[in-house]
Amino acid sequence: MKKILLGLALVAGFALANETLTVAASPVPHADILKVVKPMLAKQGINLVIQEYSDYIMPNRVLTSKKVDANYFQTIPYMNGYNKNAGTDIIMLDLIHIEPMAVYVSPKNKDITKANYLTKIKKGAIVGIPNDPSNEARALVILSQAGLIKMNEKANPVAYTPKDIASNPLTLKFKELEAAMLPRALSANSLDLAVVNANFAISAGLNPVKTSIAIESKDSFYANGIAVLPANKNDPRILKLIKDLKSPEVRAYIQSKYNGQVIPAF
């Protein structure tokens, strides 16, 4: 009888030690942050598998097709827009960090700085902005806050498009590109300016704090978090993941690793 109980205990322990949680994430900073909690979850018997994607479409596709348990790459406004367009019902469980979006200049415009951009940006300059609705609206808010354009006050800020621009004194021309492509287009000098998400900026060697000419305010409501399908909202594995992501260890990692380029949202 003791041997049977011991055997059952070993089987239970083995099962616990091999419980898997699969999360789709952007490489930087999301996957890097997940790697911090991977050993923390392993101590609780959860094997965290991280699937990295460099675009903003696949993480939601693999989630809705149930190939992963959760994803970590998006904001609530982006998620809401995706749900509306794709007819999905993804929900945000908790928010983890903010990636300040910022405005960068191309290599050919190195003379443009934070101090002089309002007078140095030439008329008709080409400005790259993300082509997904959420990030496009976010980019236009930043350009407006930077004093480069003025938006229609009657329009909804989370749904801004270039059509909502009320004043454009520099006659800026807007080029809508996939968010991941903006740093490459900027470095190739096919753009004069670009408004880039921090994850893509960091991957391309751009620094929102040090090398941008304008940066999103720290009170932005575009925080990134863990998203799931409704059926998984009470999944113990995912709840443990969130608890560890909001731990003092992760806060310290974000603050020391990114030095203001990524900000804890907890």
Which whole number is the average pLDDT over 6-34?
76
Which whole number is the average pLDDT over 24-45?
97
Q: What's the CATH code, domain 102-215?
A: 3.40.190.10
Query: Could you tell me the pLDDT band of residue 1, with boundaries at 50, 70 and 90?
Result: low
Q: What pLDDT, on a 0 to 100 scale, did the predictor assign at position 15?
A: 45
CB neighbour list of residue 125: distance below 8 Å, 6 or more residues apart? 170, 172, 173, 192, 193
What confidence tens digit (pLDDT) does each residue in 99-150 have?
999 999 999 999 999 999 999 999 999 999 999 999 999 999 999 999 999 9
How many C-beta neighbours within 10 Å does residue 53 have?
21
Query: Could you tell me the pLDDT band of residue 17, with boundaries at 50, 70 and 90?
Result: low
Which whole number is the average pLDDT over 5-17?
48
Q: What's the CATH code, domain 2-99+223-264?
A: 3.40.190.10
Q: Where are the domains of the chain?
A: 2-99+223-264, 102-215
Residue 219 predicted with pLDDT over 90: no
What percentage of the chain has pLDDT greater than the value 70?
Answer: 94
**Rounded-to-integer distance, Cα 261 and Cα 150, Å:** 26
With residue 60 as reference, give the H or E element that holds it.
helix 58-64
Do 2-99+223-264 and 102-215 agree at the fold level? Answer: yes
Residue 7 predicted with pLDDT over 70: no
**Rounded-to-integer distance, Cα 84 and Cα 30, Å:** 24
What confidence tens digit (pLDDT) does each residue in 45-88 have?
999 999 999 999 999 999 999 999 999 999 999 999 999 999 99
Strand segments (E) across 2-59: 19-25, 46-52
* CB of 160 closer than 8 Å to CB of 141: yes
